Every structure is written in C-alpha cells, then in structure tokens.
A and B are shown apart, each in its own frame.
Chain A
C-alpha cells in the first residue's frame, strides 16, 4: 500500500466570505499575479510556504484555514 499526499485549499470559499473578493484583488494583496491565484485555486500549483502565509495573511486567517494537507491511501 502506498501513500499519496494532497494539498487542498479553501481560497474560493474565503474569497466568497471576504465579500466576494476578486482574484485580482487577492493577487494584489498577496503580491502575485492573477494567473498564480487561478492556478492555486484550481489545485494546479502548490505555493511555497512563504506564499501560503501571504495568502492567509491577505484573508486575515491562519494558514490551516486556507490550506489542508491530506494523506490518500492507495493500493
């Protein structure tokens, strides 16, 4: 049995809760491009620890509220 790992995020939900913050606004707050936000939100890119903290800071929440680490068991 092998173990796989997955990092998921709640950026879409947090943007909704932050008065429907746009991807552009979040990108500006985190100091990155909009395409990077799109990629992270879509699970196509896992940000570095520093960027993950910057995104969490943009929402004024703890990093664990934005990103989740999951272990997937597979045969």
Chain B
C-alpha cells in the first residue's frame, strides 16, 4: 500500500505544482491586460506549454520517486538484516509495481471521479459563459478543471487504497 499511495501523493504534488504555476502565469497575463485576440493566442500557447511542462514534471517526479523509494527500501533492508541486496530491492519494487485486478479496479473508479470533476468544470465554464462572463474565464475554467480532476483522481485513489473497495 505504501508504494501505490506514496506514488499517488507524488503525482498529486506534481499536478498541484503545475496548477499553481499555471494560475500564477495566467494571472500575470490577465493583469497585463492583453487584447482578446492576443490574449487567446498567448493563452493557447501557454496551455500547450503547460501540457508539455505537466508531462515533463510527471516524468521527473516518477524518476525521483523511484530513486527515493529504492533508497528507502535499501535503508529499511539494511536496518533489518544488516545488509542490502540489489536484487532483493529490485524484486520488492517489481512486486509492488504489479498491476493486478484490485489496482485496475481502483484506477477505473478513481478515473471516474476525475471524469466527473472535469465534467463539473466544463459545465461550470458553460454557466460562466451563459452568465456573460468573459470567454477568457471559460477557457481557463476548462483547463483548470482538468488539472484539478487529476488531483481529485489521486485523492480518490488514496481513499480506495485506504478504505478498500
């Protein structure tokens, strides 16, 4: 449980970092008062950039997480047995990484939570549009809801691992 939960927390943190930096950037551009056409062009570029950043951050976090997890296992093994074997650590990680039926079911259920969150975000953006708010807000609500959906998916995953399904 430790592996899956810790990995999910690491992913959520990376998602939260991307979300905060994105909101900060959008706020800066909004404060700069760009014209509608300019604003949308730069917003499109910013979103594409952040999709790339999101992927890069996720890969980096996964690598760092696995290094730290391996170190943690080695320390634990050393304390327990007085020595640590690389093969044992590799075996333990492979064992923890097995995606069995419970992991798949949890993934499906947590993805549903993510989809619902993204759906609520999309409907909210339409409500903003219908109420006469700027399109700028609508587009950002959609994008931010996708980022929040990723974080909510993580919360759901941790919940199912802790509580069971």
Interface residues of A (CB under 8 A from B): 24, 27-28, 31-36, 38-39, 42-45, 47-48, 51
Q: Is B131 positioned at the interface, with any CB of A under 8 Å from its CB?
A: no
Q: Is B33 positioned at the interface, with any CB of A under 8 Å from its CB?
A: no
A39 touches B100 (CB 8 A): no
CB neighbours (8 Å) of B97 from chain A are 33
Given contacts A33-B100, A36-B102, A45-B102, contact A28 B95 (CB under 8 A): yes
Q: Which of B1, B100, B163 contacts A38 (CB 8 A)?
A: B1
Q: How far apart are the CA atoms of A32 and B4 in the complex, in Å?
A: 14
Residue of A nearest to B162 (CB): A44
B164 touches A33 (CB 8 A): no
List 18 additional A-B contacts (Cβ < 8 Å) besides A33-B100, A42-B164.
Answer: A24-B92, A27-B98, A28-B95, A31-B100, A33-B98, A34-B96, A35-B4, A35-B96, A35-B161, A36-B100, A38-B1, A39-B1, A39-B164, A45-B102, A45-B164, A48-B101, A51-B100, A51-B101
Q: How many Å from the CB of B64 to the closest CB on chain A?
A: 22
Q: How far apart are the CA atoms of A47 and B101 in the complex, in Å?
A: 8
Q: How many Å from the CB of A37 to the closest CB on chain B?
A: 10
Q: Which of A24, A35, A42, A43 contacts B102 (CB 8 A)?
A: A35
Q: How many Å from the CB of B158 to the closest CB on chain A?
A: 12
Q: Is B57 positioned at the interface, with any CB of A under 8 Å from its CB?
A: no
Q: How many Å from the CB of B142 to the closest CB on chain A?
A: 35
B165 touches A33 (CB 8 A): no
Q: Is B3 positioned at the interface, with any CB of A under 8 Å from its CB?
A: yes
Q: How far apart are the CA atoms of A36 and B102 in the complex, in Å?
A: 6
Question: B65-123: which residues lie under 8 A (CB-CB) from chain A?
Answer: 92, 95-98, 100-103
A32 touches B164 (CB 8 A): no
Given contacts A35-B3, A38-B1, contact A44 B95 (CB under 8 A): no
CB neighbours (8 Å) of A44 from chain B are 163-165
Q: How far apart are the CA atoms of A22 and B86 in the complex, in Å?
A: 21
Q: How far apart are the CA atoms of A28 and B88 in the complex, in Å?
A: 13
CB neighbours (8 Å) of A32 from chain B are 98, 100-102
Q: How far apart are the CA atoms of A20 and B129 in the complex, in Å?
A: 63
